[in-house]
């Protein structure tokens, strides 16, 4: 928590849930009055300077929560989750955080939705614990090898300044009208909160192709993935190329792919309503009573 902030003042701060040796910041919403999908949906955010679960999912949380319980944690190293000294930020440690979060909440199974970096974590968790995932959705996802794009290299190599943040937001969005001075100032301010940039810059140091590889799951394991899987991608995504979702489509036996035209890396922002309808329909197929 930044100096002077309290949970009531900052919507990015939710509940504190113990996950192993540290506490995870978690948004836990359910506006369905018990009439929605009986299985909780866990949302795993992407990576980026100053990113939080709230920043990633704030526009879709209210709609998704009308249809059932939704959980959105800050992954360790990001947002307002604790940053343990000397912690090793690896795919395995993020998978372990999800496991410990579900255990703390007493949840045996969830629907799992991963965005970008969070897609790689969600895929790895689903492979490690297939019995704890019912349906899987991966949006603009990492998780298979690909040559790092200059834009992803710029995101992971961000050095704090307002101009640098404006440039990054231009990379993320197809619709540049979404990139306002107010948004740039807000996200820049988030990126320089105490501890945020220090952790982020240490997580993906150059050369950065190795981190694409470190977040990838083995192709032979992906071919054995048992879950119904929805792949979502912006056709004009400059950060994570559409080719990654095409690769996953060819590997995952029960996969379907939806591509949004005139859309960059921000599907859930640039096509919010369509994204929610698509995701909710897909998740409801696993629980027909929720349709």
Contact in structure between 229 and 255 (CB atoms under 8 Å): yes
- pLDDT over 80 at 291, yes or no: no
Domains and CATH numbers, the chain: 15-290 (3.40.50.1820)
Alpha carbon 185 to chain centroid, angstroms: 22
Residues marked active site are found at 116, 237, 265
Summarize pLDDT for 108-144 with one digit per residue, the tens. Answer: 999 999 999 999 999 999 999 999 999 999 999 999 9
What is the rounded distance in angstroms from the CA atom of residue 82 to the CA atom of residue 97? 12
Summarize pLDDT for 70-113 with one digit per residue, the tens. Answer: 999 999 999 999 999 999 999 999 999 999 999 999 999 999 99
Summarize pLDDT for 170-201 with one digit per residue, the tens. Answer: 999 999 899 999 999 999 999 999 999 999 99
Report pTM: 0.95
Burial 153-186 (b: 16+ CB within 10 A, else e): bbbbebebeeebbbebbebbbbeeeebeeeebee
Q: Nearest-CA neighbor of 68 among 92, 36, 44?
A: 36
């Amino acid at each position: 928590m930044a100096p002077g902030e309290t949970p009531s003042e900052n919507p990015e701060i939710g509940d504190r849930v113990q996950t192993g040796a540290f506490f995870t910041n978690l948004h836990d919403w359910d506006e369905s009055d018990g009439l929605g999908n009986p299985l909780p949906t866990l949302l795993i955010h992407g990576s980026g300077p100053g990113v939080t679960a709230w920043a990633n999912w704030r526009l879709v949380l209210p709609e998704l929560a009308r249809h059932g319980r939704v959980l959105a944690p800050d992954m360790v190293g990001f947002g307002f989750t604790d940053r343990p000294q000397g912690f090793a930020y690896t795919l395995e440690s993020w998978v372990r955080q999800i496991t410990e979060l579900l255990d703390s909440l007493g949840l045996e199974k969830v629907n799992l939705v991963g965005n970008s970096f969070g897609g790689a974590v969600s895929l790895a968790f689903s492979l490690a614990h297939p019995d704890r995932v019912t349906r899987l959705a991966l949006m603009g996802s990492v998780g298979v090898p690909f040559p790092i794009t200059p834009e992803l290299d710029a995101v992971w190599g961000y050095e704090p300044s307002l101009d640098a943040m404006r440039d990054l937001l231009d990379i993320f969005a197809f619709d540049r009208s979404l990139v306002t001075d107010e948004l740039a100032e807000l996200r820049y301010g988030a990126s320089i909160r105490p501890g945020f940039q220090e952790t982020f810059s240490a997580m993906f140091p150059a050369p950065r192709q190795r981190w694409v590889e470190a977040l990838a799951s083995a192709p032979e394991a992906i071919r054995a993935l048992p879950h119904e899987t929805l792949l979502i991608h912006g056709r004009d995504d400059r950060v994570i190329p559409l080719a990654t979702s095409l690769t996953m489509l060819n590997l995952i036996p029960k996969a379907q792919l939806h591509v949004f035209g005139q859309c960059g890396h921000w599907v859930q922002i640039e096509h919010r309503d369509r994204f929610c309808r698509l995701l909710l329909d897909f998740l409801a197929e696993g629980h027909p009573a929720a349709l």
